[in-house]
């Protein structure tokens, strides 16, 4: 049984109010509905949600429209939670562990950003929404709260960003989905740092995963990032949602 949460709240992102709404948990009448509450935050791009009742099947379902979620983590852990959308991105499912770690309530932290930007804590977001797509097939697909480069079936197509960010050491990660078999390899260049990444199947084109790219060094303030294909398997590269650069001490 999916836990469908009871909540109505407004988030303010880039001066645009975004309503996040969900329904009551599907359960016997005597059961208390699952409660999800938002905690206070001084950073518009970081949100923490409180879950009073954990779903036994590991699926927390939120109904939208939704903010653009780029990473979800269970508080106290560093491993990102995979998340999936329905076709029009009006619903998001968090694929959480079957049991919460520690005593309830559990806390889930979201990183939220629509556009390419440098956040208050120094995190750099390279968003699909304002990337440059070069090629014949790959293109931006967009629903409220869900932006990705899809229809990427041509290995010659590539995606790039030109952006400004402070110099320093960063840990880079890719946010993507993929429904075709493992084996496609992409090359990710961030300034002078070049990494190759073999993409795994995530379960569907709508289920997203955060994977590490590696450590990169940004020199100066003007930068370029590029994602190219080295090898393509079964005709589909990925849905590319974002690259996240987290500053390192």
Select from 63, 93, 112 the last residue of a domain: 112
In this predicted structure, what is the pLDDT of residue 22? 31
**Do 45 and 134 fall into the same domain?**
no
Quote the pLDDT of residue 21: 31
Instruction: Give me the pLDDT at residue 9, please.
Output: 32
**For residues 130 and 108, what is the distance between their CA atoms, to the nearest angstrom?**
27
Q: Which residues pair with 112 in a beta bridge?
A: 69
End position of a domain, from candidates 78, 112, 146 = 112
Domain of 17, in residue numbers: 3-112
- Average pLDDT across each block of 10 residues of the chain; the chain has 249 residues. List them in order: 36 31 30 39 76 87 86 90 94 85 79 96 97 98 96 97 98 97 96 97 97 98 98 93 97
Q: 90 with 203, same domain? A: no
Q: Which residues pair with 162 in a beta bridge?
A: 224
Predicted pLDDT at 44: 78
**d(C-alpha 76, C-alpha 102), whole Å:** 9
The dihedral sign for the CA sequence 217, 221, 222, 226? positive
**Residue of 172, 241, 229 whose CA lies nearest to 199:** 229
pLDDT score of 100: 66
Shared domain for 76 and 44, answered yes or no, is: yes
107 lies in the same domain as 192: no
Asked whether residue 241 falls in the same domain as residue 124, the answer is yes
Phi, psi of 128 (to 5 degrees): -60, -30
> Which residues, including other chains, have CB under 8 Å from residue 188's CB and lie 6 or more apart?
172, 174, 194, 195, 196, 197, 213, 225, 226, 227, 243
Shared-domain flag, residues 133 and 234: yes
SS3 content of the chain, % helix, strand, coil (to 5): 0, 55, 45
Q: Are residues 52 and 80 in the same domain?
A: yes
Count up the domains in the chain and report the number: 2
Determine the Cα–Cα distance for residues 123 and 171; give it in Å rounded to an integer.
10
**What is the reported pTM?**
0.84
User: Within this chain, do residues 136 and 239 fall inside the same structural domain, yes or no?
Assistant: yes
User: Do 144 and 73 share a domain, yes or no?
Assistant: no
Q: End of a domain among 57, 84, 112? A: 112
Q: What is the DSSP letter of 35?
A: B
CA-based radius of gyration for the chain:
18
CATH number of the domain to which 105 belongs: 2.60.40.1180
């Amino acid at each position: 049984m999916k836990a469908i949460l009871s909540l109505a709240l407004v988030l303010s992102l880039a001066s645009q109010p975004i309503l996040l709404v969900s329904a009551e948990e599907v359960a016997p009448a005597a059961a208390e509905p699952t409660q999800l509450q938002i905690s206070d935050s001084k950073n518009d791009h970081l949100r923490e949600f409180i879950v009073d009742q954990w779903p036994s099947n590991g699926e927390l379902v939120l109904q939208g429209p939704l903010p653009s979620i780029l990473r979800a983590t269970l508080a106290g852990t560093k491993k990102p939670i995979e998340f999936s959308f329905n076709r029009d991105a009006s619903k998001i499912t968090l694929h959480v562990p079957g049991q919460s770690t520690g005593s309830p309530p559990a806390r889930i932290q979201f990183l939220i950003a629509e556009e390419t930007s440098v956040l208050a804590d120094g995190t750099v977001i390279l968003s699909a929404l304002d990337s440059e797509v070069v090629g014949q097939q790959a293109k931006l697909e967009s629903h409220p709260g869900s932006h990705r480069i899809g229809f990427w079936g041509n290995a010659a197509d590539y995606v790039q960003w030109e952006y400004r960010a402070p110099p320093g050491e960063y840990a880079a990660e890719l946010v993507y989905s993929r429904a075709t078999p493992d084996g496609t390899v992409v090359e990710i260049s961030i300034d002078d740092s070049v990494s190759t990444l073999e993409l795994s199947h995530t379960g569907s084109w709508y289920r997203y995963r955060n994977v590490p790219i590696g450590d990169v060094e940004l020199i100066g303030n003007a930068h370029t990032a590029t994602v190219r294909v080295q090898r393509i398997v079964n005709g589909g590269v990925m849905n590319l949602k974002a690259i996240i650069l987290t500053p390192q001490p």
